[in-house]
Structure 1
Amino acid sequence: MPKLDRSDFKYNAKVFEKNCLWCGTTFYASRSTAKYCSGTCRGYANQAKQSEEAVPYEETEKMISALLSENAYLKGQIQRYISDNEELRKIIRQLQSV
């Protein structure tokens, strides 16, 4: 656990002076990868990160609804192109037989 005072470490210990990414407090850590001064700050940072990543339910529902309506529109377009294609094939067959 990081400490706020250098005197808590042995005199010959390898200690890194860091700034907490959450609250900005200067602290001393025995690991070079330490980012937060306490478990509390780490917890708050993780909560903030998770809330940023979460997509609101209403927004998700709107996106699903929009995708479904676009899907239905595209299916209709495909059906129209298929029927047009069949009509053109009939016309081509009639012209070839003449």
Structure 2
Amino acid sequence: MPKLDRSDFKYNAKVFEKTCLWCGTIYFASRSTAKYCSATCRGYANQAKATEEAVPYDETEKMISALLSENAYLKGQLQRYVLENEELKGKLLVR
């Protein structure tokens, strides 16, 4: 699960704000070389890279790849919105 909030780390930890190369989710990483927000996105990217090197895509496979990419991006956005919604609910209940 990607860390979408800076508060998940210690207060003095070095943290890097990154954008996932696969799904486009903005996340916080403890390593400056991190490229993907999760192991799932890293796996999808490696699968896509392996299939591109092995056999060139035809048009249908390009569409499927694009849809999978969009699906992963939307999942990341949904997770972020759910977390923000829970935070707002918590703030409203405190008042």
User: TM-score by structure 1 length?
Assistant: 0.54
One-letter code aligned to 1:29: A
Q: Give SS of 1:33's match.
A: coil
**What amino acid is aligned across from residue 39 of structure 1 in structure 2?**
A
> What stretches of structure 1 move > 4 A for 4+ residues in a row?
none
SS at match of 1:32: coil
**Under a length normalisation based on structure 2, what TM-score does the superposition of the two structures give?**
0.55
Higher relative contact order (CA 8 A, sep 6+): 2
User: 1-side partners of 2:43 and 2:22: how far apart?
Assistant: 10
1:32 counterpart residue number: 32
Q: CA RMSD in A?
A: 1.6
Alignment partner of 1:7: what SS? helix
Q: Secondary structure at the match of 2:40?
A: helix
Q: Which moved more, 1:38-47 or 1:1-10?
A: 1-10
* 1:17 partner amino acid: E
Partners of 1:52 and 1:25 in 2: how far apart? 23
Q: Which amino acid aligns with 1:9?
A: F
Question: Counterpart of 1:8?
Answer: 8
| Structure label with greater radius of gyration | 1
Instruction: Letter of the 2:13 partner, please give it.
Output: A
Structure 1 unmatched runs, 5+: 57-98
Give aligned pairs, total.
56
Aligned to 1:43: 43
CA distance in 2, matches of 1:55, 1:22: 20
CA distance in 2, matches of 1:6, 1:23: 19
Q: CA deviation at 1:37?
A: 0.3
Q: Offset at 1:55?
A: 3.2
Match of 2:17, SS?
strand
Q: What fraction of aligned residue pairs are identical, expressed as a percent?
A: 88
Match of 1:52 in 2: 52
